[in-house]
């Protein structure tokens, strides 16, 4: 059985994965350190739209299809965003 986490990736793909993982790690650490993260008013207004919520799910799925680590980090970021939106709204 093939293990997708041990596949050989190109230089560009590996660099993009590392940039996204580090960016999401920083964002998740920032969100975890503060209970109420100030979001732009656009993200707060979009929260009420069901299409936005489906888009968030699609982004998590897309990240998980590309790289499981990115999927996990994106999922954590989306969960923290949802928790903050429930507290704000």
pLDDT, tens digit, 9 for 90 and up, residues 1-45 = 455 555 667 888 888 889 988 998 888 887 777 766 677 788 888
- In 10 A of CB 15, how many CB atoms? 11
What is the Cα–Cα distance from 34 to 7, expressed in whole angstroms? Answer: 36
Q: Rounded to two decimals, what is the model's pTM?
A: 0.72
What is the Cα–Cα distance from 89 to 84, expressed in whole angstroms? Answer: 9
């Amino acid at each position: 059985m093939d293990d997708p986490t041990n596949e050989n990736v190109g230089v560009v793909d590996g660099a993009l994965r590392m940039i996204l993982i580090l960016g999401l790690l920083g964002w998740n650490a920032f969100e975890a350190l503060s209970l109420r993260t100030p979001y732009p008013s656009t993200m707060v207004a979009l929260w009420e739209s069901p299409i936005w919520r489906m888009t968030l799910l699609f982004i998590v799925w897309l990240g998980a299809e590309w790289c499981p680590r990115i999927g996990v980090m994106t999922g954590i970021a989306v969960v923290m965003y949802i928790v903050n939106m429930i507290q704000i709204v």
